[in-house]
Structures are given as C-alpha cells and as structure tokens.
Amino acid sequence: MPKDSKAKEMHQVEMMIGYILRIGVVVSAIVIVIGIIMMLVQGTGGYPNGVQPTGFRSIFNGVMALKPYAVMMFGLFLLILTPTLRVAVSIYAFAVERDRLYVWITTIVLIILIVASVIGYLGH
Amino acid sequence: MIYSLLLMLGVGVLAGVFGAILGIGGGLIVTPVLTLMLGLDIKYAIGASVIAVIATSSGSTIAYLKDEMLNLRVAMFLEIATTVGAILGAVLTGIVHATFLYFLFGALLVFTTYNMIRKLMNKNSDTPNVKADALATKLNLNGSYYEKTTGQEVDYQVENVPGGFSMMFGAGFASGLLGIGSGAFKVLAMDTIMHMPLKPSSATSNLMMGVTAAASAMVYFFNGSIKPGIAAPLAIGILVGATIGSRIMQRLKPRFIRMLFVPVMFYLGIQMILKGFGVTI
C-alpha cells in the first residue's frame, strides 16, 4: 500500500465527507427544531387533529404558510435523505482512492436505494 | 403537548445512546414505548421507529467517520445483499411461509446469544485471531480501527465472506417479508460469521441500518405513517443520544458491549419465536 501522500489525501477526503454529512444532518435537525419551536409558540401543529401533510405539494404549501407540522415534515424528509447522501459521497471517496471495484459496488447500492425510494413514493 | 414532547425527547436520547452503542437501531426501545406507554397505533409506531433508525444511523455515523471505526467497504458490499434481499422479501410477501421464517431467524438469534456467552467465557476472545480468506483480501475488506480502551490500532481480518453475504441476504429477505428490523442480524453476520471485532461490527451495522431504512422510509413518509408531533422530537432526541452514544461506545470495553448484547439478542430471538407461535410480546 503506498503510504504518506495518498494516505494524506484520503484523510482530507474523509474529513471533507464527514463535514458534508455533518452539515446535512445538522441542517435537517435545525429545520425540525424550528418546527418544534413554532409548534410551541403557536400552540398547535397548524392542521386539524389527526391530519398531517404528506405530499410534496402539501408540505411545500404548509411551509410557505408557516405551519409547524409542515416544517417538521420537511425536516424529517431531509433527515431521511441523509443516508442517501452518505452513499453518494462514498462513491466519490472510492473514486479518489481509485478503487474501481468499490465505486461500482457503491453505485449499485445507490441505484438500488433510489429505485426503492421511487417505488416507495409511487406505491404509497 | 409539552409532556409528550419531553417524553419523546427523553425516549429519543435513551434510544439513540443504546442504538449507537449496539448498532441495532432504535426501534427496540421506541416501538414498545409508543405502543405500550402511549397506546399509539402500530402503524405510527413503525413509522416513528423507521425515523428512529435513520436518526441513530446518521447521528452516530458522523462521529464514527472521524474516528474511522466503521468499515465502509464491508458496509457497501453487504448492503447489496441486504437491499436485494429486502426487495425480494417484500415482493414475495404471502408466498413464502412467514411462520417458518420467524422460527428460523428467532433460533438464529438464540444461537447467537449462546455464541456471545461462549465468547464472554473465553477471556481472550476479543483479541483478533482470524485468518483472512482469499475473497476478503480480494475484496479489500480487511481493516483496522483505533481501540481507545487499550490505546492501540487494531488491524483485523475478515473471514467467511460468502457466509456473511448469505446471512445478510437472508436477514434482508426476512426484514422485507416480515417487516422486522435487521440490525441484530447485521451484527450477527459480521461478528459471529465474519469474525470482525465487535466495535467495527456495531458501527458498520449502524451505517447499513440507515441506508436500508432510508428506502422503506419513503413508503412510510408518503403514506402518512409518520406523525410529525411524535417523530420530530423523537428524531432530535435520538440525534443527540446517538452522538453521545457513539462517543461512549469508543470508551467501552468490547467485553462490556458484548454483555449488553446477550440479553438484547436473547429477547429479540424469543420474541421472534413467539411470533412464530402467534404470540406478540
């Protein structure tokens, strides 16, 4: 295994990926917390009992109307996306490492994940 | 509202800490609290526990990456087996006999409990003494991690790759067909079958849990199973708990983590076998 310069480059890439993932998770957490604070301030989720926004359109409209539940759902949606982000940046990490086998393996995982997500969205 | 908010935050922190240490997701703690304590419909409890798994995974993954605890290659390689198995399982629901699978996988977990106790009896079991097989070397699966309790960099080998891959496929299949979490089986595949050290096994399992759950989360998100009033504070609690838990895990002795696993694996195994008999606990 060639050390030093390559190890250093890998280390930098890993730190950068760690940073990207941290931003992704923190942003989703901030959005969720804003939603919770809005709910505490307004004293309601902004929707009738037992109802919550589930589609892209209703969540978007709800966020625009500053409805707490819509903001929370938006944050939760961002959270659900973070593992996909994780897989996507891993492909980049393997590419930097010139590990073609794992670029392929990880790409397959990403494709399976996206296909399953789309099926999940369409099949609801 | 304040009460349930604080309860969810508290439960979340607890679930996050345990989930991050054991690498089995947060559903184990979250689901009983929601269904038994709050009387929540199982549909919403499952939705919340899927969010819990992702929050545990994402919360702890950030910390693990920095400490290079997880094995990304093992994660991605096994993830193919899990996801393909899960999709196939979901497709074959109703065709394959669920009862048989409950017994099979329940028995596997009980066997793992026995195996973990045996490893605990043997004092030197957590010092790696494993020969890499040719496939593991070819797939570059061998790794290393920093063991904080001894201050050493531990190089480890991975063996029985086909066995681990098959186990993950089976676990994915069972989780897709039965709608159960597969975290315990992920640890089983890596620790018991592939003989990876326990800490990287748990950390790697955590990453895989999140990736596997992300796909099914889309279904639950859009079919209204996720109640924001419950899932949102839960997610925040878990993110905090998982970050703390992954830091705690680094400092724990592998032997101690294994002790935590024994009752958890046994409980899950018995629970599954009873489900095979039609009894839900």
Per-residue model confidence as pLDDT tens digits over A47-59: 887 788 888 899 9
Supply the range of the domain harboring residue A42.
5-122
Separation CA B226–CA A74 (nearest Å): 12
Cβ(A93)–Cβ(A35) below 8 Å: no
pTM, two decimal places: 0.88
Q: How confident is the model at residue A70 (pLDDT cuts 50, 70, 90)?
A: very high
Q: Which residue of B236, B240, B243 is the best one to mutate when testing the A interface, meaning the one whose CB has the most A CBs within 10 A?
A: B236
**ipTM (interface pTM):** 0.90
pLDDT higher than threshold 90 for residue A116: no
The total number of structural domains in chain A stands at 1
With beta carbons under 8 A apart, name residues in chain B contacting A116: 83, 87, 215-216, 218
**Option in A25, A80, A90 nearest B72 (CB):** A90
Q: Which residue of A79, A94, A104, A115 is the best one to mutate when testing the B interface, meaning the one whose CB has the most B CBs within 10 A?
A: A79
User: Is A83–B210 a contact, with Cβ atoms under 8 angstroms apart?
Assistant: yes
Nearest residue of chain A to residue B75 (CA atoms): A106
pLDDT higher than threshold 90 for residue B83: no
Give bridge partners of residue B143 from the DSSP assignment: B156
With beta carbons under 8 A apart, name residues in chain A contacting B232: 32, 35-36, 72, 75-76
Q: How confident is the model at residue A1 (pLDDT cuts 50, 70, 90)?
A: very low
Dihedral (CA of B226, A25, B172, B117) sign: negative
User: Is B214–A113 a contact, with Cβ atoms under 8 angstroms apart?
Assistant: yes
B210 touches chain A (CB under 8 A): yes
pLDDT higher than threshold 70 for residue A108: yes
Q: Output the six-digit token pair for B9.
A: 């935050």
**Option in A106, A113, A121 nearest B222 (CB):** A121
**Option in B65, B84, B232 nearest A14 (CB):** B65
With beta carbons under 8 A apart, name residues in chain A contacting B224: 52, 54
Give bridge partners of residue B146 from the DSSP assignment: B153
Q: Which residue of B3, B60, B65 is the best one to mutate when testing the A interface, meaning the one whose CB has the most A CBs within 10 A?
A: B65
Dihedral (CA of B201, B172, B63, B27) sign: negative
Cβ(B144)–Cβ(B153) below 8 Å: yes
Nearest residue of chain B to residue A56 (CA atoms): B222
The model's pLDDT over B88-134, given as tens digits with 9 standing for 90+, comes to 887 777 677 778 888 888 888 888 888 888 888 876 555 556 666 78
Please tell me chain B's helix, strand, coil percentages from 3-state DSSP, rounded to the nearest 5.
75, 5, 20
